[in-house]
A and B are shown apart, each in its own frame.
Chain A
Amino acid sequence: MHELGIMFHVVKKVEAIVRENGLAEVEAIVLQIGELSPVVPQYIVACYPAAVDGTILQNTRLEIETLPANARCGRCGKVYNLIERRKICPSCGSEEFELLCGREFNIKEIRAC
């Protein structure tokens, strides 16, 4: 379990952005979490109120976008979802692949005024 500690980082980062841009109020923050990322979206949602408690983000909405774990087959080049296909290419059956996306944990955007 490391989601709370990681969310403290996110809060610090967003607070810095709010200061730098002279924003008055943050309505929402949008995170992107890859399917292979080391953070679990449900835990992020669960610990969010604790992470923002007493900060300028206290009444801010959290949105999460999931990014797929996509890979390109090392043999035939087909792009497929690693989790759905259990790391086996649906086209040629190869288990060799190059990961295209899915490990991200990004602050995508902040909606504020």
Chain B
Amino acid sequence: MDSFKVLEIKESVFADNDREAERLREALRRKKVFLLNLMASPGAGKTTLLTRTIETLGNEMRIGVMEADIDSDVDAKTISKTGAKVIQLHTGGMCHLDAEMTKQGLEGLGTDDMDLVILENVGNLVCPAEFDTGASRNAMILSVPEGDDKPLKYPLMFSVSDVLIINKIDAAGIFDFDFEACAQRARKINPDIRIIPVSAKTGEGIGEWADWLRASVRQWRGE
């Protein structure tokens, strides 16, 4: 097959997504919309934390929510009870969201009258860490029952997150979760990570989380 020639491409398959994510982030900055990408494993308490967050900040900023799931709309139904504007995204079997899907979700939600949009990513500690969604900041939840060894097992997730929320601290008494060991492991991977222990169920620690989020939104909007 002498007639065949070789075209050298040498480009990362993820480069397109990274470029799209950067464009989306810039567009959001211009529109003064803060996009939070919330990641965690299934059952860590993403939806419960979101409900608490909307209760706490809902009267001082306009909040929209994008619920990403492989299927179902149970989370969107829960969030809609808070009164926040919510849209359900179905990934159709995909285990993560990419920048293009996030952009389509934002268009569906409508961001003209939003200060803060929270993207509840697919429950998974692996794949969502690999794909930049274009979010202003990344947050992750690790819940006490999951164990303090998770930074060792899923280092990439901890390295891309700006804030680590340790949820279900109300259940700490029945699990042997070592907060100090967990923090050390997380900071070894990501020295700048902010760690906030909360109980989305009882409300403990939610004030500190809301403070972080409020300050981040204001900074993003140049206030």
List chain A positions with a Cβ less than 8 A from chain B. 1-2, 4-6, 9-10, 13, 17, 21, 23, 27, 31, 38, 104-113
Contact = CB atoms under 8 A, between A and B. Distances in A.
A38 B8 contact: no
B174 interface: no
A47 B216 CA distance: 41
Contacts of A2: 94-96, 127
Interface in B8-41: 8-14, 16-17
Contacts of A23: 7
Nearest to A20: B7
B4 A112 contact: yes
A74 to B, nearest CB: 12
A113 B10 contact: no
A109 B7 CA distance: 5
A74 B182 CA distance: 23
B13 A110 contact: no
Instruction: Using C-beta atoms within 8 Å of the partner chain, give the interface range for chain B.
Output: 20 to 34
A104 B9 contact: no
A45 B9 CA distance: 20
Given A1-B93, A1-B95, A38-B130, A111 B13 contact: no
Contacts of B93: 1, 4-5
B130 A13 contact: no
Contact of B7 (A6, A31, A104, A112): A112
Contact of A105 (B5, B9, B10, B12): B12
B7 A106 contact: no
A39 to B, nearest CB: 8
A13 B7 contact: no
B9 A108 contact: yes
A111 B6 contact: yes
Most-contacted residue by chain A among B6, B7, B12, B17 (CB, 10 A): B7
B16 A13 contact: yes
Given A27-B1, A38-B127, A113-B4, A17 B13 contact: no
Contacts of B130: 38
Given A106-B13, A107-B10, A109-B10, 18 more contacts: A1-B95, A4-B93, A5-B93, A13-B11, A17-B7, A17-B9, A23-B7, A27-B1, A31-B13, A104-B12, A105-B12, A106-B10, A107-B11, A109-B8, A110-B6, A111-B4, A112-B4, A112-B7
Given A38-B130, A105-B14, A106-B12, A112 B95 contact: no
A107 B4 contact: no
B126 interface: yes
A104 B11 CA distance: 9
A49 B81 CA distance: 44
